[in-house]
Every structure is written in structure tokens, then in C-alpha cells.
């Protein structure tokens, strides 16, 4: 579907005009989120809770038995595109990513729906739900229920549940010194969304954006079967540097990012040079920039790209160097043609270095 097919055909406003932010760019800034979570009371220990809130990981994980662990997560946001079907697809793909990023396979989803029912028609809302359903069908799971409210801004997403063997859960905290870092999708979704809002994204650019944001991170479940893959996380609203920092902080290491090796969506660099960046880039840098060393301190262009909020972004993989080529080949077999080694893990104390 072309990006210009909008609800305006039925005298409805464009979806993105109804929201103050879109996609993962409307996440609460990481610094504010950390402050909020720090105020939460400490819960009593639960022996079977394998992953909670301690390391800002992608999902909660609860051991059911010696063979199964339940992965539970939720993700929702406001429109990043105006096409309702595409919005539903992007939101659902993004929500399921957290299960894959823990090394699991989704088993079912519940829909989260908040819509301005006096503004949007049932047909438009139905297209959003149909888009989400199509992605879940591709993942091989049902949308088994959900909850809806009348909301001022359009909101859609999923509760996603998945399963994995307890020994195959991949946390962001298990990266090891010497690991290679692999990114499975190119950066630039936030830049593309900013260009779309200003009417400066070409049809080809829109197609590139949709292809990236609707590609499921299924490879995560296969990567977790490799013992030499030590850590996984997905790159979303906090940008590459933000999620690299979460990995570095959780594992108490330094994540070194090689700028020349970071893949970008075609055309992103030119758009960023024209100033088409999101406000979330600045908020992200303000939250964790003090923990980042290297050339991005002075290079505003690349700082914006490395902090660019990725809606439904790729996986960041920390693995033993001996299987880096195998990881790349596996990622590409799942359609991630731009997968690349983007850095390494070195000794440090929760910092990121850009070289």
C-alpha cells in the first residue's frame, strides 16, 4: 500500500496528525524511565522469576518447569505512519520482537487498542487490527483476545507471550569481554518517520521503511540455540547507543561500536544531513550521553543517527568471535541482508565507546 493512502479518503484526519509522537519515538526517555523504575518498591524474591526489571531487559521470564520458561512482554504506541494497515503491522512486529530478543518463540498475543472512536471510522480501526493480525499469522500465533478503550490518541500494540527452554534464555546482561557485536537491521527508521511527517519521504523510501519495520526477528529463537551467542537485545526507541548502553551496564563491560560498520537504510544519511531527525534523538542523548565516549561527542550528525529511535528495529547480538560468520549467515537466511559486525565487547564498567 502506498504511503499516501490515508484515512483522508473518508474525510478522516491522517493517523499521525492525531498523535504527539509515533512508534518507539514516543517512549519515555531512558533517563526518566530509570528514575521512575528506581522509585518502585523492591518485590519479594521469586525463585522462578528468571528475568525481571533489574537489567532493563526486553521481557519478563518465568520458569514453568525444567523444560519451559514463559516469556511475557507488552508493547504499544501511537501511529508512525498514516496507512492504518501498515501501522498495525509495524506495531505487532515490534511487540513480538521482545520475545525473539529473549531467545523465545511466541505462542499467543492479546491486542491493546485505544482509539478516538468519534474521529476514526470502524473501517480504519479494523484495518489497524487486520494489520496486526496478519503479522501474528506470519508468526504462527493467534490474537486470542485483548482490551480496548476510547482514547484521545490512536494507540495499538500487543501483549506477547512466548516459550523457551530455560537454558536458552538470552539476557542483555551476559555479554562477555571479547565478544563480537552484530546488528541484524540497518538504522534510520526514526529519520524516515520524520521525513514522512514532513512529506519528504519518497515512495521508495516508504517501501524500504515498511519492509524493515515489518520483518519479524524470528532469527532470535534460532540464535539462542547456539551456546556461543551470549547476549541478545533488540534496538528500539532508545537507539543503538541506548540499547548498547543497557547491555554494557547490565554486563558491566564496555561496548565498542565501530562507526564505519554500522548499516543504514538507503537514503537515511542524506535525509539526516537535511536535518530530518526526531526529537527523541536529543532526549535519548540527554539521558545517556554522559556514558558514551568517542567521536560522536563532536559529530552531531552521527550522534543523531546512533540515537535515532528504531521502531521495530533489529537484534543486537553479542557472540564469541568463532561463530560471528555463522551468526551473520543465519541472520541473512532469515532475510536480514544488512546484518553486520558493528563492534566488540571490551573491558569496562557500563560504558559505550564509538570509534
- Residue 52 pLDDT > 60: yes
Residue 1 domain-assigned?
Answer: no
- Residue 6 pLDDT > 70: no
Mean pLDDT taken over the chain: 91
pLDDT interval class at 53 (50, 70, 90) = confident
Shared domain for 124 and 190, answered yes or no, is no
Task: Report the share of the chain in percent with pLDDT over 70.
Answer: 90
Shared domain for 188 and 199, answered yes or no, is yes
Q: Which pLDDT value is given to residue 81? A: 95
Number of domains, the chain: 2
Residue 34 domain-assigned?
Answer: yes
Residue 73 domain-assigned?
Answer: yes
Residue 2 domain-assigned?
Answer: no
Question: Of 134, 167, 200, which closes a domain?
Answer: 167
Shared domain for 177 and 76, answered yes or no, is no
Beta bridge partners of 343: 181, 257
- Residue 5 pLDDT > 50: no
Mean pLDDT, rounded, for 165-181: 97
Give the helix ranges, DSSP H, for 239-293: 239-251, 268-273, 279-288
User: Mind listing the pLDDT tens digit for each residue in 57-86?
Assistant: 999 999 999 999 999 999 999 999 999 999
The domain in which residue 293 lies consists of 170-354
Shared domain for 261 and 181, answered yes or no, is yes
Shared domain for 27 and 94, answered yes or no, is yes
Question: Of 112, 135, 167, which closes a domain?
Answer: 167
Shared domain for 114 and 182, answered yes or no, is no
Shared domain for 263 and 278, answered yes or no, is yes
Is 24 in the active site? yes
Shared domain for 111 and 256, answered yes or no, is no
CATH of the domain at 333: 3.90.650.10
CA–CA dist 62, 166 (Å, integer): 9
Question: Taking the C-alpha atoms of 11, 14, 15 and 17 in order, what is their torsion angle to the nearest 10 degrees?
Answer: -120
Shared domain for 200 and 58, answered yes or no, is no
User: Mind listing the pLDDT tens digit for each residue in 109-126?
Assistant: 999 999 999 999 999 999
CA–CA dist 107, 139 (Å, integer): 9
Q: Which of these is catalytic: 24, 26, 136, 254? A: 24
Cα–Cα distance list, 209 to 39, 122, 186, 248 (Å): 37, 26, 10, 28
Shared domain for 67 and 201, answered yes or no, is no
CATH of the domain at 96: 3.30.1330.10
Cα–Cα distance list, 313 to 68, 93, 244, 339 (Å): 27, 9, 13, 12
Question: Of 103, 134, 167, which closes a domain?
Answer: 167
Shared domain for 140 and 214, answered yes or no, is no
Shared domain for 223 and 139, answered yes or no, is no
Indicate the SS3 state at residue 84. helix
Amino acid at each position: 500500500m502506498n504511503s499516501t493512502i490515508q484515512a483522508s479518503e473518508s474525510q478522516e484526519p491522517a493517523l499521525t496528525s492525531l498523535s504527539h509522537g509515533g512508534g518507539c519515538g514516543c517512549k519515555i526517555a531512558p533517563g526518566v524511565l530509570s528514575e521512575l523504575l528506581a522509585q518502585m518498591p523492591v518485590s519479594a524474591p521469586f525463585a522462578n522469576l528468571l528475568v525481571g526489571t533489574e537489567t532493563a531487559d526486553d521481557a519478563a521470564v518465568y520458569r514453568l518447569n525444567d523444560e519451559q520458561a514463559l516469556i511475557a512482554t507488552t508493547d504499544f504506541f501511537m501511529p508512525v505512519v498514516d496507512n492504518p494497515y501498515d501501522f498495525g503491522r509495524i506495531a505487532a512486529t515490534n511487540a513480538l520482537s521482545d520475545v525473539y530478543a529473549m531467545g523465545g518463540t511466541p505462542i499467543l498475543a492479546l491486542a491493546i487498542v485505544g482509539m478516538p472512536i468519534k474521529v476514526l471510522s470502524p473501517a480504519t480501526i479494523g484495518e489497524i487490527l487486520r494489520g496486526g493480525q496478519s503479522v501474528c499469522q506470519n508468526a504462527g500465533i493467534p490474537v486470542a483476545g485483548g482490551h480496548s478503550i476510547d482514547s484521545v490518541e490512536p494507540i495499538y500494540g500487543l501483549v506477547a507471550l512466548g516459550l523457551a527452554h530455560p537454558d536458552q534464555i538470552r539476557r542483555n546482561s551476559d555479554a562477555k569481554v571479547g565478544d563480537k557485536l552484530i546488528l541484524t537491521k540497518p538504522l534510520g527508521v526514526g529519520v524516515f518517520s520524520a521525513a514522512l511527517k514532513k512529506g519528504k519521504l519518497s515512495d521508495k523510501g516508504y517501501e524500504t521503511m515498511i519492509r524493515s519495520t515489518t520483518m519479524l526477528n524470528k532469527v532470535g529463537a534460532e540464535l539462542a540455540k547456539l551456546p556461543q551467542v551470549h547476549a541478545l537485545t533488540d534496538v528500539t526507541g532508545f537507539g543503538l547507543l541506548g540499547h548498547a548502553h543497557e547491555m554494557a551496564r547490565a554486563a558491566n563491560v564496555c561496548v565498542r561500536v565501530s562507526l564505519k560498520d554500522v548499516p543504514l537504510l538507503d537514503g537515511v544519511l542524506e535525509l539526516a544531513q537535511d536535518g530530518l531527525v526526531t526529537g527523541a534523538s536529543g532526549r535519548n542523548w540527554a539521558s545517556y550521553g554522559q556514558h558514551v565516549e568517542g567521536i560522536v561527542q563532536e559529530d552531531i550528525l552521527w550522534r543523531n543517527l546512533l540515537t535515532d529511535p528504531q521502531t521495530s528495529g533489529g537484534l543486537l547480538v553479542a557472540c564469541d568471535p568463532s561463530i560471528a560468520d555463522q551468526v551473520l549467515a543465519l541472520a541473512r537466511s532469515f532475510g536480514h541482508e544488512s546484518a553486520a559486525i558493528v563492534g566488540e565487547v571490551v573491558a569496562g564498567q557500563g560504558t559505550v565507546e564509538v570509534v
